[in-house]
Chain A
Amino acid sequence: MSSLTTTSPAKVKAQGVKRSDFLPYLGGKLAAALVSFLVTLVIGFVIFSLMPADPVRTLTRGRPTSEAQLVQIRVQLGLDDPIWERFLTFVGNTLKGELGYSWQFQQSVSSLVADRIGPTLLLMGTAAALSIALGLWLGIRSGWRHGSLFDRIASSTSLALWSVPTFWLGMILLVAFSVGVGPIPSLLPAGGMSDPSLPQEGWAHVVDVAKHLVLPCLTMVLVVFAQYVTVMRTSIIDEMGSPYLLTARAKGLTDDAVRRRHAVPNALLPSVTMIFMHLGILVSGAITVESVYSWPGLGYLTYEALRIPDLPLLQGTFIVFSASVIIMNLLADVVYRFLDPRVRAQ
């Protein structure tokens, strides 16, 4: 922890980062991330080529299909190509930004991902922003006055909510607020992203989307914010014994000011890394929430792909999810370096 320094890092930050140190550092991290990504590609491909699959009969179920058609579809989907050929095509295409051709939607996976990434970012972005805000705020308050009633309520509530399976909480909220229970009328829409009978533009649309966003977002926030509370609370408690806080107090600053200007900025440091790493994971956490609420995003697309299973599509979403984790980890490293004077000094 940064308890050794009596200057709070928030002030150090203002001096900026020396470029000469930073670029090689960034380069190294970028290279590591790239290697990591390539390894992910290989692992992804291996997993998905092992999967036993005869998608053709599954896809054509429900339509009369002749033998000639079945053969034609196999050729069209490239199912009979040798495995090494498929691997080379796969790596080549991925590096070009093409993620293959979805079996069930019969269009390129990239275009499907492009269609669905917006709703996922909207849901996850909002959920992340809210849970970070809520988690950090609660964490700071609880840590600063740890042992108080506020602390006990905040930390135990978050602990209990953390112990709940996300999809179950989603179902319960769905029943409570959307199906409507007894005297409580149905308050919020049950699924989807917008009400198609309303115009799809303008202010009314934004309000409509926001209404649809409430339940899935609430589910995510409730399950996720606990982690931020715990981390932030711990860091604050760690900072509290630090000499620089005593110095600050001795200077006659109010309790509030000490917390805000000195304790919090220092305590944020360990939380930041965790928050960024967690953001990457959050995107894949979307799978359950989006499935429960029919939110038309990437997680839901994965769920759809799983049904067939539509391997190119699963592979594509897997790559996107991995890439988001890798990028967020990279950002965590970079941000950490910006914030922590000791890391920069090295």
Chain B
Amino acid sequence: MTAATYTSAAPKAPRRHAFSRFCRAYAKRPAGLAGLGLLIAFGALALAAPLFIGDDQLNVIKVDGPQLSPPVDGYPLGTDQAGRSILLLVIWGARESLSIGLIATALTVVLGSAVGLLAGHYQGWVGKILMHVTDWFIALPSLPLAISLSAVLGQGAASITIAIAVTSWTATARLVRAQTLAVEARPFIERAKVLGAGNTQIMIRHVLPNVMPLILVSSTLTVASAILSEATLTFLGLGDPTSVTWGSMLEAAFLGGAVTAGAWWYLMPPGIAILIVVLGFTLVGRAVEHVLNPRMVVGR
């Protein structure tokens, strides 16, 4: 991400109009549409999963499929060691993998935006301290920090989510601060101040709406990396091996010897699911970025 200023509409401009213009511009980007399509498809599958996947297919004492079998009738992607259908597990895994990714991102965005806004608005010692703290966190290596944090917090989804948020908010904070500085330099903020708007009012009513598009862009990209981090941390043994996520499926496959057994049907699907979802979020993020600011075609 770069800290370039986005040309955003003046606050009084009709937002609805801006939104429909945004939609039209977005619709012209096939890659963005494809990404959005992938995400909608996965989201729908994840939400609808409880309708067609029940305890009977997931509970190891109830399933009766063949063990670690390649695709056969009724099991289009084969089975795992307990005889559960990989296809259903991958669909079910989307629920937890996506929700960890989304919740971690929400935490990241809230934390990062708050720090960024405050640091940008209060440019005195408060801002300085906040920026120093941000810099310190940037210097902490994220994967080792996440590993240590989730080891301290105890295994499981909750601690992985927190670990991801704690290690990734700095980028958002920096971005938001830069944007806040840019927005606050503009005349309408000056006008608002003259009219007697307080600090909170300026930040919430005037700065935040202008920073929002940027936050959105950065958050789509954060989801992508949060999902990757979840898979990595779970693979390193910090997740909950009894829950079904893409990371835990890969961990089970790896620890269980699927590589030697040549169980491609066990190793491939969760990885490809991660690839598709991460790609989806990345494409959407880049398309949004492109629409908002055509000169900035920046990766993550």
Contacts and interface: CB of A to CB of B under 8 A. Distances in A.
Interface string B179-209: 0000000000000000000000000000000
A171 B267 contact: yes
Interface in B98-153: 135-136, 138-145, 147-149, 151-152
Interface stretch (A81-89, A200-208, A281-289): A281-289
A337 B215 CA distance: 30
Interface string A164-190: 111110011011000101000000000
Contacts of A226: 299
A137 interface: no
A219 interface: no
A26 interface: no
A128 interface: no
A288 B235 contact: yes
Interface string A34-50: 00110110011001101
B58 interface: no
A50 B295 CA distance: 47
B147 A280 contact: no
Contacts of A285: 143
Chain B binding site: helix, strand, loop or mixed by DSSP?
helix
Given A175-B267, A302-B147, A329-B139, A168 B282 contact: no
B271 A172 contact: yes
* Chain A interface main SS type: helix
Interface residues of A, number: 59
A334 to B, nearest CB: 16
Interface residues of B, number: 46
B232 interface: yes
A227 B299 CA distance: 7
Contacts of B297: 233-234, 237
B11 to A, nearest CB: 29
Contacts of A326: 139
Contacts of B15: none
Nearest to B295: A238
A183 B300 CA distance: 38
B198 to A, nearest CB: 33
Interface in A299-343: 302-303, 306-307, 309, 314, 317-318, 321-322, 324-326, 329
B292 interface: no
A231 interface: yes
B140 A309 contact: no
6 contacts: A40-B140, A48-B148, A167-B232, A171-B254, A231-B298, A302-B147
Interface of A: 32, 36-37, 39-40, 43-44, 47-48, 50-52, 159-160, 162-168, 171-172, 174-175, 179, 181, 226-227, 229-231, 233-234, 237-238, 270, 280-281, 283-285, 287-288, 291, 302-303, 306-307, 309, 314, 317-318, 321-322, 324-326, 329
Given A167-B231, A179-B262, 5 more contacts: A51-B148, A230-B300, A287-B143, A322-B139, A325-B138
